[in-house]
Amino acid sequence: MVYRRPRRALIFGRFQPFHKGHLSIIKWALEEGYEEIVLLVGMASENYTPRNPFTAGERIEMIRLSAADERLDLTRIITATIRTLETSIGSVYYVLSYVPKVDTILTRNPVISKIFMDAGVGVREPPKFNRDFWRGERIRELMAKGDPRWMEAVTPTTAEYILSIGGIERLRKSLAKE
């Protein structure tokens, strides 16, 4: 048997929290023909802060719970973590050393697009899926205010998980320290 590497797309994000917008990009990428999606959890070295309230492990748990809620095949989703990095061409090679070989990065960030293109990685811009509502900053803001609409932006099991780990209280405490 000859090994054939699957066609893979990389999605690099903080996933604070992992929400339906992220999930929509994964589904879109799978429909576009990528056989596997590599989710690189960035800023893994920062947690318990207002901008990054959840740990890398918690974010991976959210990814898995969300995929299961949507009945996505978890064998097609690869997760990895990476510490906080500066954005530079050198960091691209560092990032690529933390994940299996990928064909494409899916991003709407023009700086990320440019440095990955310069490193020879394909770049595709995914559609915007309800970006006004499914945005980590907005979701965290709703959580901090005690507005239950934040739960509409994540899958049901992910919402239960965030509540079970005291995510709302943690976020509020980190904001109070600022």
CATH number of the structural domain spanning residue 110 = 3.40.50.620
pLDDT-above-90 percentage for the chain: 76
At which residue do the structure tokens 């920062």 appear?
46
**What is the per-residue pLDDT for 88?**
66
Q: Do the domain assignments include residue 154?
A: yes
Q: Do the domain assignments include residue 2?
A: no
Q: Do the domain assignments include residue 1?
A: no
Q: Do the domain assignments include residue 29?
A: yes
Number of structural domains found in the chain: 1
Q: Do the domain assignments include residue 75?
A: yes
**What is the per-residue pLDDT for 133?**
87
Tens of pLDDT, residues 74-125: 999 999 999 876 666 678 888 899 899 999 999 999 988 999 999 999 999 9
**What is the per-residue pLDDT for 94?**
87
Tens of pLDDT, residues 112-122: 899 999 999 99
Q: What is the mean pLDDT of residues 19-37?
A: 97
The domain in which residue 118 lies consists of: 8-177
Mean pLDDT of the chain: 93
**What is the per-residue pLDDT for 2?**
86
**What is the per-residue pLDDT for 4?**
82
Q: Do the domain assignments include residue 131?
A: yes
**What is the per-residue pLDDT for 176?**
86
Nearest to 25 by CA among 63, 52, 61, 80: 63
Q: Do the domain assignments include residue 134?
A: yes
Q: Do the domain assignments include residue 156?
A: yes
